[in-house]
Chains A and B, each alone.
Chain A
Amino acid sequence: MTAIGKDVPRKEALDKVTGAVKYNDDINEPGLLHVKMATSTCAHGIIKSIDVLSAWNVPGVRAVVTGDYLPVMTGSVIKDRPPIAINKVRYYGEPVAIVVADTEHEAQKAANSIKIEYSPLPMVKSPKEALVKGAPLVHEKLGEYKKAIDDVYPAAGTNVADHSKIRKGDMDKGWSECDVIVEGEYTMPKSDHIAMETRNVRVKIDPDGKVYVSSSTQCPHGIKDTLATVFSLNEGDIIVNAPLVGGAFGGKAPVNLEFIAYIASRAVGGRQVKLANTREEDIATSPTKIGLEAKVKLGATRDGILKALELKYFVDAGAYSDTAPRMAKTMASNGTGPYNVENVFCDALCLYTNNPYSTSFRGFGNMGHTFCMERTLDKLAVALNMSPFDLRLKNAISPGKGHTSATQVKITKSNTGDLAKCIYKINELIKLDDDLRVEVAKDKVIARGMSCIWKTSASNTDAISGAIIVFNKDGSLNLIVGVMEIGSGVKTGLAQILADKMNMEVDQIHVQMPVNTESSPKHWKTVASMSTVMAGRAVLSAADDAIRQIKDLGSIVLRVDPSQLEIGGGKVYMRSDPDNYVEFKDMVHGFKFRGGNSIGGQIIGKGTYIMENLTILDRETGKGRMGPAWTVGVQAVEVEYNTKDHTYKLVKAATVMDIGKIVNPKTAKGVVMGGMSMGLGLGSREGFLYGSNGGILNDSLRTYKVMRFGEQPDYMVEFIETPAEDGPYGARGLGEHGILGMPAALANALTRATGVELDQVPIDAELIWQLKTGGYV
């Protein structure tokens, strides 16, 4: 009866195809006030004056608020960001004032009328500029900011928000063993999540001090914790409700609009307010993906054994740090990719610039290091005159060979799975051990490129999850977890896990879709591809708890020891005689004997989970365990390149990944393909372009391009199952991973096709033309 490994449709699928599903902004309450922001038109400057008079004159306006109304500092790593700018603006698009009005258009009209004057300061527009001696300081008072965590090391008087180091092995020895050394420099621009649902939130504050928040978020419990800390409230007074989310990709993990909406509600006596980003605000005002500049030096012996690796990452955090330091750290700790390298030296600098600030983005930095390492491996393969396929296979990280990660974690079968198996498998989908560049017609070249991937989470060392199971009178179950359904199908996967454990049909499991912090157990954050693993473990433990109670009660009714009982099909029965049973429906709300007397009460299963054995990394060497099991895999892309006009088509894209256990094949495949699509978008078209004033030029979907229908290649996705001992049924994370190697595989394929080194993304025909011709006609 197991539901594991079955294509169970999403529990909310019918609601989604009928339009009945409610996202946060679909819920509208009468009397709601609307908030609109006036945002900065200066990327770096002192706010000289804010003239709000004209805004007050717009009919319907209830409040106009500037940063000094409720000055607080926020940040999950460094508390460096006021939700509404105070004294100074640090990026174009930063909120400077807000208006609360009866209707949305009145609020907008008033916000448009606010006049703000700035005295501009010199801008820092790239990591390189941030590091120049005497560079303008984005944060003059960096040294005075409070830290939200211990292991972050901002350098006062500089633009360095954090510096993560890896010192593994002996570099001198490593280089001396190398016969071939290659180097590369890489860049990836900042870009946006583009969840189709823009961020939006409603907040009201009741007279008794209760704060009601309703948000499109990946992190309802985080909102509760954070608002309590930032505004000195009682956590128990904050109730966060979070319905289904219309795409998130990391962008809805941080607390963002919630701060402003809370301030706005305070300003109108606690009335309910709504703040919903326009697409332009979602891109230019709310946090984005980090940018990256990097230098890589990699050496190997003549037979292609990697010996030494030096990595320098310069991460463009933007105006505020948010989680960018953690992503820089992630790059440092995983920068080798899934390869064994004995000697590793890495400096990852997380830098402030006057670009929009960053937050977590699908892959959490792992796409960045993958691009750098995988491009460099292809350069090494050329230098060694070895096939890129063999080079990767030769160095694939594997258990039992004394391999360790850059942070010196011992590699085991459980914590890394089987990369070699993935590499062999992908070769059946896209031939990679063969000629990777073929001229198929006069102007046409077919070329292939590959990239290995790996990722583990970079969660807090004490991240938790929980699950509660209650029963209906008909014997079916309600599962309540704190995980958000953001499109990954996680809640259906959890229902499958529970159905399997309870040995029942999955349609007998009902899952609570919205999360409410008052009634749903805390789940750290729906990020890091850890939801199925963490919440899955909590669900299993809750199921154990419920089963124990069912068997205890069953043993009384059936008059046998609990050890003699089994459960299945909504019954508890005697193993020796399955016809001797009690149905769940007759016992989950208490068992009533014939005479009317009852025992048992209602059955409520509870389960919890906490990440185990994670440590913070040593400041000097990076030694430590940052995440639980890695998920490894390999990706490949086939392109058709037109040598005449330098355009190209995406022909095929493949992924083989070791996900430990496939809970729902169709869903898993879909999530991986979605990641691949996004990765191809980043490789081929996505990235911010800035005007001379520092503002984003492509801040709408007219100009910020994402993949559209018809541009997709043929996708091929296969899975390997090497269980992770600590995952539910051996499952590993997979939600983000599809994106990781796509930019690298694409750039590798196109480098081969074009004959020019493509060390930056996005790669379009003009870039290729420029590199090939120098940009002259």
Chain B
Amino acid sequence: MIPFDFDYYKPDTLLEAIDLFQDLSEQGKMPMYYGGGTEIISMARANSIYTGAVIDIKGIPECCEFGFSGSNLVIGSAITLTKIVESGLFPMLGITIGRIADHTIQGKITLGGNLAGTVIYRESVLPLLISESQVVIAGNYGTRQAPISELFDGRMRREPGELIVKLIIDSTYTNLPFFHRKTTKIDKIDYPLVTVVAMKKDDRILAGFSGLCDHPFRSIEMEDSLNEKGLTREVRIKNAMSHIPAPVQEDIHGSGNYRRFVLNNILMDVLKM
């Protein structure tokens, strides 16, 4: 039960959505785009967020695009995780998001919502980071497209009112060999202790991490260390671990040192790719 009231809008076009956001903001409604709503509803119930209006983006055609277009895979931000998993179009992404929350919730969470949410894990960003995807964003200026690496610095950088419309992935990335491991404290259905997604491209390992720090990330320094030929695996891993870009998480899921131990084990397997 959500203890406050808000209005619900389901626009039919991108333009409508953007205008609506602006209008509602001006009315002081503090609007929010609404994808799957899983985070909005749970945080609203807990009184951790407030909004006076939600704008459901599931009726916007551009947000619901899904499939190959030329040499690109296009995934609208309102596409659910289940739909991506079941399609089998991008196995690395499918396997990664097939471990977010649980199967039923995956039918509700949208790709855009997971990327834009506040949960510190946002595991869906990992395959998108290492496959160097492009993000299409809409604002009152129209739309713009940018590589995800430019927009994502632990969070999806957006101006207020900007909407994530879709993700564009170069289809050469969708079939490369990849590695995914999500480790949890003990239960399969849980937030990650450490999730690692890695891919091998042109004999180079690309890797993204979630659960390790307070945000998901891809680190070129860590990748460089992992790829440093001529060193033993142990040394490469040691070097990579010295480049973790932020403090390692300490929380109810595990201590920092334990996360390092787990990461170390996973990286051993990554290097066997």
Contact = CB atoms under 8 A, between A and B. Distances in A.
Instruction: Indicate if A touches B (C-beta under 8 A).
Output: yes
Interface of A: 104-105, 108-109, 112, 644-645, 647, 684-685, 689, 697-698, 702-703, 705, 708, 710-711, 762, 764-766, 769-770, 773, 775-777
B187 A705 contact: yes
Contacts of B262: 645
Nearest to B2: A105
Contact of B186 (A108, A684, A689): A684
Nearest 6 CB-CB pairs, A to B? Answer: A108-B3, A109-B3, A777-B260, A764-B186, A766-B258, A705-B187
B4 to A, nearest CB: 6
Nearest to B251: A697
A770 B4 contact: no
A775 B265 contact: no
Contact of A689 (B187, B188, B252): B252
B185 interface: yes
B1 interface: yes
B187 A711 contact: yes
Given A108-B3, A777-B261, 14 more contacts: A105-B2, A105-B4, A112-B3, A644-B265, A685-B186, A689-B252, A702-B191, A703-B252, A705-B190, A708-B187, A762-B186, A765-B185, A766-B185, A777-B264
A708 B189 contact: yes
Most buried by A among B5, B254, B258, B262: B258
Contact of A645 (B5, B186, B265): B265
Contacts of A647: 186
A777 B186 CA distance: 20
A765 B265 CA distance: 13
A710 B3 CA distance: 36
Given A105-B4, A775-B258, A705 B264 contact: no
A621 B254 CA distance: 45
A777 B257 contact: yes
Contacts of B257: 775-777
A574 B14 CA distance: 87
B47 interface: yes
A613 B188 CA distance: 50
Nearest to A774: B257
A775 B189 CA distance: 25
Contacts of B261: 769, 773, 777
A705 B3 CA distance: 26
Nearest to A58: B3
Interface in B175-199: 185-191
Given A775-B255, A777-B261, A765 B4 contact: no
A769 B258 CA distance: 8
B250 to A, nearest CB: 12
A640 to B, nearest CB: 14
A49 B99 CA distance: 47
Most chain B beta carbons < 10 A, residue from A104, A109, A697, A762: A109
Contacts of B4: 105, 109
Given A108-B3, A109-B3, A705 B186 contact: yes
Contact of B3 (A105, A684, A711, A764): A105
A236 B127 CA distance: 67
Contacts of B188: 708, 710-711
Interface string B231-273: 0000000000000000000001011011011101100000000
Contacts of A770: 258
A538 B47 CA distance: 51
Contacts of B258: 766, 769-770, 775
Contacts of A644: 265
B108 to A, nearest CB: 15
A192 to B, nearest CB: 15
A280 to B, nearest CB: 8
Nearest to A645: B265
Interface in B1-40: 1-5
B2 A764 contact: no
A698 B258 CA distance: 19
B188 to A, nearest CB: 7
20 contacts: A104-B1, A105-B2, A108-B3, A109-B3, A644-B265, A645-B262, A685-B186, A685-B187, A705-B186, A705-B187, A705-B190, A708-B187, A711-B187, A764-B186, A765-B186, A766-B185, A766-B258, A769-B261, A775-B255, A777-B264
A641 to B, nearest CB: 13
A647 B181 CA distance: 14
A774 to B, nearest CB: 10
Contacts of A762: 186
B213 to A, nearest CB: 16
A705 B257 CA distance: 22
Contacts of B252: 689, 697-698, 703
Nearest to A648: B186
Contacts of B185: 685, 705, 764-766
Contacts of A108: 1, 3
B1 A105 contact: yes
Contacts of B187: 685, 705, 708, 711
A104 B190 CA distance: 30
B254 A766 contact: yes
Nearest to B42: A702
Contacts of B191: 702
Nearest to B264: A777
A108 B44 CA distance: 12
A683 B139 CA distance: 52
A773 B264 CA distance: 15
A408 to B, nearest CB: 42
A645 B266 CA distance: 10
A766 B261 CA distance: 10
B266 to A, nearest CB: 9
A697 B257 CA distance: 20
A711 B264 CA distance: 25
A770 B254 CA distance: 11
Contacts of B2: 105
A521 B25 CA distance: 62
Most chain A CB inside 10 Å of its own CB: which residue of B4, B188, B252: B252
Nearest to B184: A705
A773 B262 CA distance: 13
Contacts of B47: 112
Contacts of A711: 187-188
B81 to A, nearest CB: 17
A464 B235 CA distance: 71
Contacts of A703: 252
B166 to A, nearest CB: 29
A55 to B, nearest CB: 12
A708 B104 CA distance: 14
Contacts of A698: 252
Nearest to A708: B189
Nearest to A685: B186
A616 B188 CA distance: 47
A54 to B, nearest CB: 13
Given A105-B2, A105-B3, A108-B1, A766 B255 contact: yes
Contacts of B260: 777
A702 B188 CA distance: 12
Contacts of A702: 191
Contacts of A645: 262, 265
Contacts of B5: 105
Contacts of B265: 644-645
Contacts of A685: 185-187
Contacts of A710: 188
A281 to B, nearest CB: 12
A773 B260 CA distance: 13
A276 B19 CA distance: 41
